[in-house]
Amino acid sequence: MRADYTLDDRISPDLDAVVQHIVSEQNLRERRRRTAALLQTLGRPGMVTSSDHADVQAAEANRRWIARGQTAAL
């Protein structure tokens, strides 16, 4: 599939804040522990996407969006 973007992504400012806080952690062991915990949490069924949002439109940009099909949201 020739697509560089996904459309209709869900955005979470709270999740962005958590990731930025993890990134700023100076202690490497603690940063890795927190990263693993976040990924484990996000990997739980239904945590990030519901069945209604499991797929998103993939697209290529060329002066407009050119739809290239559906792809998994995560």
Q: Across residues 50-59, what is the average pLDDT? A: 81
Paired strand residues for 14: none
**Has residue 74 got a pLDDT over 70?**
no
**Has residue 61 got a pLDDT over 70?**
yes
pLDDT grade for 8, boundaries at 50, 70 and 90 = confident
pLDDT of residue 31: 97
**Has residue 51 got a pLDDT over 90?**
no
pLDDT of residue 53: 72
Supply the range of the domain harboring residue 36.
5-72
**Which H, E and C letters describe the chain, residue by residue?**
CCCCEEECCCCCHHHHHHHHHHHCCCCHHHHHHHHHHHHHHHCCCCCCCCHHHCEEEEEEECCCEEEEEEEECC
Our count of domains for the chain comes to: 1
